[in-house]
Amino acid sequence: MNLILLRPEEINNKRVTLTDHRAEHILTILKSSPGDSLKTGIINGPVGKSTVMDVSGDSVVLEITDEGTVPLPPQTDLILALPRPIMLKRILSQAASLGISRIFLINANRVEKSFFGASMLQDTSCNDYLQHGLEQAVDTLFPEISLHQRFRPFVEDVLPKISEEYPVRLVAHPEAHKKLPEAVELPLRNRVLLAIGPEGGWVDFEMNKFEEQGLQPFSMGPRILKVDTAVTALLAQIDLLRQIGNC
Amino acid sequence: MNLILLRPEEINNKRVTLTDHRAEHILTILKSSPGDSLKTGIINGPVGKSTVMDVSGDSVVLEITDEGTVPLPPQTDLILALPRPIMLKRILSQAASLGISRIFLINANRVEKSFFGASMLQDTSCNDYLQHGLEQAVDTLFPEISLHQRFRPFVEDVLPKISEEYPVRLVAHPEAHKKLPEAVELPLRNRVLLAIGPEGGWVDFEMNKFEEQGLQPFSMGPRILKVDTAVTALLAQIDLLRQIGNC
């Protein structure tokens, strides 16, 4: 945890009293005492600093001493064929730590139908995994998650409405002829929408639908990766393309 | 499992009888029957095809029908500050799936000494995690692992001997001024040696030692990543730099 995340509603006159895992982290890992300064962030708000005012038992009182600034929102968003729950947990944390603003979790032919019944989609535990990623990466901006149980309404109704927000739209597909750097124009300065399929990939119908919506297919090469590895690899590669100047 | 890996010593006149998890995979996941063709590879040898000759109970007899070709060895190797065992497992599988030839697991100031006592370093289970990665990525070439319990002898004695094999030598460091694309010359065509530190990073002494050995420091940017996320992200980014033509 490289950042203590605070909820706006728990802050009262710049002060907050923590008694949960954050207090435990401050006391047992950071071993902070009154007067110490900590990096704190307000959810969907600025990253700044707080001072430890009081420590008693397992509670910690912080006072925000430097409001700080709001992080820039990540410029890459993800369409992801719903993976199995254990993989989704890891993906949510890792994607939040690498930086995304939205995740569209969608159905696809090769998604197991049972995944949509996963308990983590019914309660708030997706947020816990996103929060781990934000605490790790020192970010406050929660990615927005939406769930789309039917592929066709997503691609025919939702996708056309959001497409114009994304000048660069990509879909990972092992059989594509282009590699990633050939599928985007460098330097990359725009918002990117990236679609990543299930284990086994997208079926032809799905690829056709994505291409109708202007998503450029690209291949990651001959090595077949697990979905969680592919998500991290591709978010990192898109980030690198943003770092590369005019080529 | 996208590839059935065979050990050279279990092959007899092009035939092999499987009774372990590979037989189970062939029978319960692939649901293969006699006459079916499967992708098989020989450890540190070629990737080709085999035909299912016989199935009885929980054993499967395969005959290699197409010897195939040996994959090209990956051009990136890793120096990694020894992470905690649960993270090392994931890193070994993911790094093998992304493609590396060697991993130097080394000590560093911020490595917990207890990690060197981990049972997985005493038995052969590191190989199991590497094998998962190769089976996933359809590769046969096992990365070579070496363990270096003392930082200084590694960096002063081992590193100078291997350095000339790597025209590009890099060390990830959050405080570095350069980003990755500025730290390498494009197009990237050479072997890369990449050093990734422990949670908390390398200390100054370690950075100085690496820089003396010609490792270029670079930063991944302001977001702090877990070591396993950083390994996948950086191997993917180096792979992307190899895909980018003359800039």
State the CB neighbour count (10 A cutoff) for residue B152: 12
Calpha distance A150→B81 (Å, rounded): 45
Q: How far is A232 from chain B (nearest CA, A)?
A: 6
Q: ipTM of the predicted structure?
A: 0.95
pLDDT band per the 50, 70, 90 thresholds, residue A149: very high
Picking from A98, A179, A224, the nearest residue to B223 by CB comes out as A98
State the CB neighbour count (10 A cutoff) for residue B212: 12
End-to-end CA distance of chain B: 37
Give the tokens for residue B150: 């003392």
Picking from A222, A224, A236, the nearest residue to B233 by CB comes out as A236
A225 CB-contact burial (10 Å; exposed 0-12 / middle 13-18 / buried 19+): buried
pLDDT value at A15 more than 50: yes
Which of the 8 DSSP states describes residue B73?
P
Element (H, E) at A136: helix A125-137
B182-206 tens-digit pLDDT: 999 988 999 999 999 999 999 999 9
Task: Tell me the residues of B at the A interface, defined by beta carbons under 8 Å apart.
Answer: 2, 94, 97-99, 136-139, 179-181, 221-226, 229, 232-237, 239-241, 243-245, 247
C-alpha gyration radius of chain B: 20
Q: Could you tell me how many residues make up chain B?
A: 247
Contact B229 A179 (CB under 8 A): no
Interface mutation vs chain A, best among B244, B246, B247, most A CBs within 10 Å: B244
Q: Helices (H), strands (E): how many in chain B?
A: 9, 11
A74-128 tens-digit pLDDT: 999 999 999 999 999 999 999 999 999 999 999 999 999 999 999 999 888 999 9
State the CB neighbour count (10 A cutoff) for residue B75: 18
Q: Which residues of B touch A223 (CB under 8 A)?
A: 97-99, 137-139
Contact B98 A229 (CB under 8 A): yes
Share of chain B above pLDDT 70, in %: 99
pLDDT of residue B247: 45
Q: What is the edge-to-edge ordering of all strands in the sheet holding A168-172?
A: A144-148, A102-106, A76-81, A192-196, A168-172, A216-218
Q: Phi and psi (nearest 5°) for B71?
A: -60, 155
A154-168 tens-digit pLDDT: 999 999 999 999 999
Degrees to nearest 5, angle at CA B203 with B198 and B209: 105
pLDDT value at B246 more than 60: no
Q: Which residues of B touch A232 (CB under 8 A)?
A: 229, 232-233, 236
B169 CB-contact burial (10 Å; exposed 0-12 / middle 13-18 / buried 19+): buried
Calpha distance B81→B85 (Å, rounded): 12
Strands A144-148 and A102-106: parallel
B96 with B137: CB under 8 angstroms? yes
Mean pLDDT, chain A, integer: 96
Residues 6+ positions from B144 with CB-CB distance below 8 Å: B101, B102, B103
Q: How far is CA A47 from CA A5, A50, A68, A69, B226, in A?
A: 9, 10, 5, 6, 20
Q: How far is A161 from chain B (nearest CA, A)?
A: 31
Calpha distance A16→A30 (Å, rounded): 18
Helix (H, G, I), strand (E, B) or coil at B47: strand
Q: How far is B70 from chain A (nearest CA, A)?
A: 14
Specify the amino acid at residue B88.
Answer: L
Tell me the angle at which helices A227-243 and B227-243 cross, rounded to the nearest 10 degrees.
60
Cis ω before A187 (30° cut-off from 0): yes
pLDDT of residue B186: 87
Domains detected in chain B: 4-69 (2.40.240.20), 76-243 (3.40.1280.10)
pLDDT value at B70 more than 80: yes
Element (H, E) at A119: helix A119-122
Q: Which residues of B touch A245 (CB under 8 A)?
A: 181
pLDDT of residue A200: 92
Residues 6+ positions from A113 with CB-CB distance below 8 Å: none
Residues 6+ positions from A221 with CB-CB distance below 8 Å: A179, B239, B243
Nearest residue of chain B to residue A200 (CA atoms): B2
Q: Phi and psi (nearest 5°) for B77?
A: -125, 160
pLDDT value at A247 more than 50: no
Least confident of A106-110, A184-188, B12-16, B232-236: A184-188
Helix (H, G, I), strand (E, B) or coil at B60: strand
Specify the amino acid at residue A224.
Answer: I
Strands A59-69 and A15-18: antiparallel
Q: Which residues of B touch A240 (CB under 8 A)?
A: 180-181, 237, 240-241
pLDDT of residue A240: 96
